[in-house]
Amino acid sequence: QSAADHEATMKARAEELKVIAEAKKILMETTSGAVDQTYSLLQKQGIQTVSHLHTGADLANVEVLTLIKKLAREHHSAALAQLASRIGAVLRFGSTAGQDPFAKVKELIQGLIAKLQAEAGSEATEKAYCDEQMAKTEEKKGELEYDISKLTAKLDQSISKSASLKSEVKELQAALAALAKQQAEMDKIRQETHSEYVEAKADLEAGLTGVRKALGVLREYYGSAAAAMLQSNSNLGDDMKQPAMPEAHEKAAGAGTSIIGILEVVESDFAKSLAAEETAEDDAADEYDKISQENKVTKTLKEQDVKYKTAEAKSLDKAISELTSDRETADAELSAVLDYYSKIKERCIAKPETYEQRAARREAEIAGLKEALSILEDETVFMQRGKHGARSHFLGLH
């Protein structure tokens, strides 16, 4: 309190004491007989309490007791209620036991203030501990959940990519198998067609050679016969004038010429067939070589794809194993953190009254007790200054 507040408080208390003193003086001067007749049996229960208010200290003690009872009711405090009970006992019986009630009341209040402050300090330490542990645990929990989320995303992505690569490898291997089958069929067909070509070529060349040889023989033979026939036709007139000669064998030049003509056609056909076979062979060989080269390039590319995709899938499988292990470790760590988080929440949160509420209540209790203590200390100041004069016995003689 400020100095002005202090002076105002002391002035108010002095005025209150003066009023009580004046009232008691009037009562003692005018109602003593009536009191004896009416309240003699109840003196210790009611009026005695008023008669005990001999000094400012007595009034201060009663004011303190009233204040503490009020605090106990407002805050539902068992400690304050117990303190009020003990103060009441001290006020009633302390002086008879040779104790200084005023000092004892101050001691009781100071003791409870110290106790409440110690509890406040302990709870503040606990609150700081809880806040720190809750913050650290929640931070760790958040970090682990984020790490697990990232690991899960990477793991899912790697698993999907690995499965996709393995599927692509299977497709490539199937394509390579189909390509190998196609090439094998082409090789077989090519071998068969080439064999047929070689055989046809040999037959046609042999036939062509035979035809040409036969033509040579026939031309040589039937060529002189034809000339002789022309010569005989030119000498026909002379022969008609001479006697007939005996018939001799003559070459069948006409038939020979027909045969030669036929063989020449055959020679031409054989030559055309040979040329056609050679052309077909060349075209088949070129097409075979072209497709075989394309298949070779395709095979090389697909085999490289299989090699790289297989290697990548293996690398991903290794990464998947590592990621799985990392996630299991993180899961285990998160499980431990969550278990600790549950325990720390149970310790720091699961209470009917929050720390803030308890702190506010305790602060109010301490403030009230300090106010009560201030009342007593103010009275002590007055007593030490010797300013109790009329106040020390303002109610008159016992």
pLDDT digits (tens, 9 = 90+) for 305-361: 999 999 999 999 999 999 999 999 999 999 999 999 999 888 887 566 666 777 777
> Could you tell me which of 43, 49, 42, 44 has the C-alpha nearest to residue 65?
49
Return the amino acid letter for 290.
K
**pLDDT at res. 22:** 58
**pLDDT at res. 122:** 81
The tens digit of pLDDT for each residue in 54-81 reads: 555 566 667 777 877 887 788 777 877 8
* Chain CA centroid to CA 395, Å: 82
Tell me which long-range contacts 152-157 makes (C-beta under 8 A, separation of at least 24). Answer: 152/327, 154/323, 155/320, 155/323, 155/324, 155/327
Q: Please state whether 397 falls in left (phi above 0), alpha (psi between -120 and 50) or beta.
A: beta
Sign of CA dihedral 43, 44, 47, 48: positive
CA distance 17 to 22: 9
The tens digit of pLDDT for each residue in 97-119 reads: 566 676 777 777 788 788 877 87
* Structure-block tokens of residue 28: 């003692």
Least trusted range by pLDDT, from 83-97, 124-138, 206-220, 305-319: 83-97
CA distance 182 to 337: 62
CB 53 within 8 A of CB 91: no
CB 79 within 8 A of CB 87: no
The tens digit of pLDDT for each residue in 7-59 reads: 665 566 566 555 555 554 555 565 555 545 554 433 333 344 444 545 555 66
> Could you tell me which of 362, 364, 201 has the C-alpha nearest to residue 270?
201
By the 10 Å C-beta count (0-12 exposed, 13-18 middle, 19+ buried), 17 is classed as buried
**pLDDT at res. 104:** 76
Find all residues with CB under 8 Å of 108, minimum gap 6, and list them. 83, 86, 87, 90
The tens digit of pLDDT for each residue in 287-296 reads: 999 999 999 9
